Amino acid sequence: MKTMQDILKGVVIGVANIILGVSGGTMRFSMGIYDTIIGCINTLFKDFARCVKTLWPYAVGMVLGILGLSKLITYLLGSFPLQTNLAFIGLIFGGLPVIVGKTKGEKKGLVGAVAFVLGFALVVGLQILGEGNGQDVTITLSLGQVVVLFVMGVIASATMVIPGVSGSMMLMLLGYYNPIVGTVSRMVDALLSFNMAEILSCCGVLVPFGIGVVVGIFAIAKLIEVLLSRFAGPTYCAILGLVAASPAAIFMAMDFTGVTVISWLVGAVCAAGGFVAAYRLGGE
């Protein structure tokens, strides 16, 4: 039962990583597994067997969420954007009690308050910048482009780990969001049709990007571990600010044209469902 719950948490995190304005790091906190994942990443080579046993359900869930549900989420965001976004806002709010609980007993003071404000402002500021989305780049495989894809992977992974900061939004600002997501979608279609030429073409883009993601995850996880060990109170306050600003950032990105009262009512139910799901899963 616990394994299935962990896979489900991974699915939520994976889906969050492909939605503009939603942070995978936020969902990790909402699911109550942020510290666990960071700890396992940082001790992976010291305690390999235990860490792999802990991480594999989340990893499987993330892959299922990214590859298996990317098309469904794209459809839902296109057909029911308000309800879908409200469901994720509910997931975020459902995880706030977990973060608040971690700040109890820690020294916060003025530094903690400033950290909260800066975290909140960072997310809102990135969303404001994101409204002038960068132009999509054209990926042509070359040594220089491979290096750039690696760097994009590092940036994306860092924002996946940091709660509240959307990796997808950062890629959008840099013009790589649609090309990368489009390549993932092509990869899925190529795998289903056993089109080896297309698979190899997609790998030329996704492999250097994926290597960058792995390197970035290890680097930022170590940084967060150091911050939590030395400045736990202010760090958790900053994380709380990042997460608390996420719903505001999502609302800023939404188009409310044609939204009806019924849409809001259904959306409220979706938000409540998201809240309950995160609260229940985060309490496991």
Model pLDDT for residues 211-265, shown as the tens digit of each residue: 998 888 888 888 888 887 888 788 888 888 877 887 887 777 777 877 889 989 9
Where helices occur in the chain by DSSP H, the ranges are 2-17, 24-30, 34-42, 48-63, 69-79, 81-103, 109-130, 143-161, 167-174, 177-193, 196-230, 232-253, 261-282
Question: How much is the mean pLDDT over the chain?
Answer: 79
* The most confident of 2-6, 34-38, 42-46, 274-278, by mean pLDDT: 42-46
Q: Would you kindly state where each structural domain of the chain is located, as residue ranges?
A: 2-282
Q: What is the pTM of this model?
A: 0.63
Burial of 171 (0-12, 13-18, 19+ CB in 10 A): buried
For residue 137, the model assigns a pLDDT of 66
Model pLDDT for residues 242-252, shown as the tens digit of each residue: 778 878 877 77
Q: How confident is the model at residue 266 (pLDDT cuts 50, 70, 90)?
A: very high
Q: How confident is the model at residue 143 (pLDDT cuts 50, 70, 90)?
A: confident
Model pLDDT for residues 152-206, shown as the tens digit of each residue: 888 877 766 776 666 666 776 677 777 887 888 888 888 888 888 888 888 888 8
CA–CA–CA angle 211, 217, 223 (5° rounding): 140
For residue 105, the model assigns a pLDDT of 67
Residue closest to 233 by CA, chosen among 96, 109, 93? 109
Q: Which two tokens stand for residue 74?
A: 């794209």
For residue 15, the model assigns a pLDDT of 74
CB 173 within 8 A of CB 125: no
